Structure 1
Amino acid sequence: MSIKFKPMPWLTGIVAIMLVILISLGVWQYQRLNWKTDLLAEVEASVTAPPLTSLEDLDRAIAADEPVDFRRIAFQSSPVAGEPIYAVYRTQQGGIYWDLFQQYSNIFGRFETVLDDAKPDGTAVSPATLVADIHVGYVREDHPMGTVEGWLKSKPNRTTNRWFKFNQTGDWGDEDTRLSHYIDIEQTLPFDTADRGQAAASALPVRRPTIRNNHRDYMLTWFSFALLLVIFYGLIHKRAGRLSW
């Protein structure tokens, strides 16, 4: 069987460009599918892992490249004396809210959410004399802002202590402060025994974030469009007598 095909130059050029775009979008969604699948597996490994019991444990886990986002933790520490309390805007109904962050040893912790009229100003600092309580919560991994996000985010104001992302300016703490992660503190206990902190961390509910993974559907949609485009391209040429076999 011989195939006779005389392509329409203008239509072939348009279809070729569209095919490149559609196939590129399908490949991109395939890459996104693999990334999201790995991310969900990492989150599941982190949320089901035994709670970390100290900041040293967290250091070890990060150094070993273990998944720690949303992992439960109990650690003993007091806020670093004289360091600022940072107020980060929280989207929430019913008013203007701010998450308060302060430094504990070499990591920051979100310890409270307050209404706008309770937000500390730019001169507020962590209490100078606090005992080393046990803090229980979830480790959170922070992701730096991309270029476009940096353009679109509201700019921080140090004087009024207004920030719109954790460590938005990249200059919180000193060079020894771990700023790739922070801790979402849910509970603070007076220090008595380490076992109490471990029990409180184990009692925290597993927090699984809602992360949709629809990239397989998106991938199949783009590849389907590419296939339909080829089919319509062939039918147009067949009806015009430019394709026969």
Structure 2
Amino acid sequence: MSEHRTVTGKAGGTRGKAARSPSLWLTVLSLTAIALLIALGVWQIERRAWKLALIDRVEHRVHAPAVPIPSAASWPTITAANDEYRHVSVTGRFLHDRETLVQAVTEEGPGYWVLTPLLRSDGTQVLINRGFVPSERRDASTRRNGNPNGQVEITGLLRMTEPKGGFLRNNVPQHNRWYSRDVAAIAAARGLHEVAPFFVDADAGSQIAGGPIGGLTVIRFPNNHLIYALTWFALAFMLVGRLFVTFGGGLFRRKRFVHEPAGGSDAAARRTGSDAGTIVEPT
């Protein structure tokens, strides 16, 4: 009676198993990345809700009837979230000899914003962005007819100060070069006192013939959060799919086994590799 010996393709089977089983650190890293991508997607959804609420709030402020600017006592509590873009009105007398020109690019082309202090009856001052002038009208002497000397009422939008400067360009007060509407720096350079910590963008209704062009405030809030959220979720889904293929793909592969009787003509041809089955060899 002959003995039978069973030989299995150990080397091939081991390699196949290793190919289907990623290392522990790679698995942990993948799961962490998936959690992070999902968290980023959720965060972008929350940012989108915040941005939509902001846009709605600003729209209501811009189109609301003008109200007097906040009292001097409340100036320390003014914030962008609660007050920026409010439609306000203010009365006083312009100090044209202390105006400041801030470089600007508008729908009218390149030029300058004209910021002029407005002296109020209580002695406080508010910087008014009267509007835009092209480079050829930079000199105040070219627009004297547009500079009223008496009391005026200005309506416009309350804007927060813009400290330090513009994009990659710092204000240089000593050389009278301004790239942003930095209220504190302009007040210091012009010797102004009791100045509001904000400025007012004059609207088109406050424009005076021969003066700067008002009403050019640009209100734009980029809202690409939904696209970002879908991108993060898509990346997470792709990574989940990759892990599924890596771990679960083997469940759907049909295993092949080769059973050869003892003494068979092909018994000596041993099959090896990842698909090696059971080979029965005679002694």
User: 2: distance between equivalents of 1:41 and 1:208?
Assistant: 16
User: 2: distance between equivalents of 1:171 and 1:68?
Assistant: 21
Change (3 A) 1:154 1:51: same
In the alignment, which of 180, 187, 195 is matched to residue 198 of structure 2? 180
- Which residue matches 2:280? none
Contact 1:47 1:71 in 2 (8 A): yes
- Which residue matches 2:100? 86
Whether 2:154 is the aligned partner of 1:138: answer no
Give runs of aligned pairs for residues 37-52 of structure 1, distance below 5 A. 37-52=52-67
- Which residue matches 2:246? 236
Change (3 A) 1:162 1:93: farther
Contact 1:134 1:189 in 2 (8 A): no
- Which residue matches 1:107? 126
Task: Give unpaired runs (5+ residues) of structure 1.
Answer: 122-127, 191-203
In the alignment, which of 160, 164, 181 is matched to residue 179 of structure 2? 164
Give runs of aligned pairs for residues 46-85 of structure 1, distance below 5 A. 46-52=61-67, 54-56=68-70, 67-80=82-95, 84-85=98-99
Query: Matched residue of 1:130: which SS?
Result: coil
Task: Give unpaired runs (5+ residues) of structure 2.
Answer: 1-19, 120-124, 141-146, 209-213, 254-283
User: 1: distance between equivalents of 2:155 and 2:222?
Assistant: 28
Contact 1:107 1:178 in 2 (8 A): yes
1:50 is displaced (CA, Å) by 1.7
In the alignment, which of 98, 104, 110 is matched to residue 96 of structure 1? 110
- Which residue matches 2:270? none
Whether 2:37 is the aligned partner of 1:19: answer no
**What is the aligned-residue identity percentage?**
20
User: 1: distance between equivalents of 2:73 and 2:54?
Assistant: 21
Give runs of aligned pairs for residues 140-219 of structure 1, distance below 5 A. 140-142=159-161, 144=163, 152-167=167-182, 170-173=184-187, 176-188=194-206, 209-219=219-229
Change (3 A) 1:33 1:156: same
Contact 1:46 1:67 in 2 (8 A): no
- Which residue matches 1:193? none
CA radius of gyration, larger in: 2
1:226 is displaced (CA, Å) by 1.1
Q: TM-score, normalised by structure 2?
A: 0.58
- CA deviations on 1:34-66 (whole Å, 9 max, x unpaired) are 3212211211221232212x3357987996879
- Residue type matched to 1:182 in 2? V
Q: TM-score, normalised by structure 1?
A: 0.66
Contact 1:153 1:164 in 2 (8 A): no
Contact 2:162 2:180 in 1 (8 A): no
User: 2: distance between equivalents of 1:87 and 1:24?
Assistant: 45
- CA deviations on 1:111-164 (whole Å, 9 max, x unpaired) are 13222243359xxxxxx992111223333344556xxxx695212233442211
- Residue type matched to 1:133 in 2? V
Q: List structure 1 segments (4+ residues) > 6 angstroms apart after TM superposition.
A: 57-62
- Cα RMSD between the aligned structures? 4.1
User: 1: distance between equivalents of 2:166 and 2:108?
Assistant: 27
1:26 is displaced (CA, Å) by 1.7
Change (3 A) 1:62 1:217: farther
- CA deviations on 1:68-120 (whole Å, 9 max, x unpaired) are 443433332112475x3221111247763111101113321111322224335
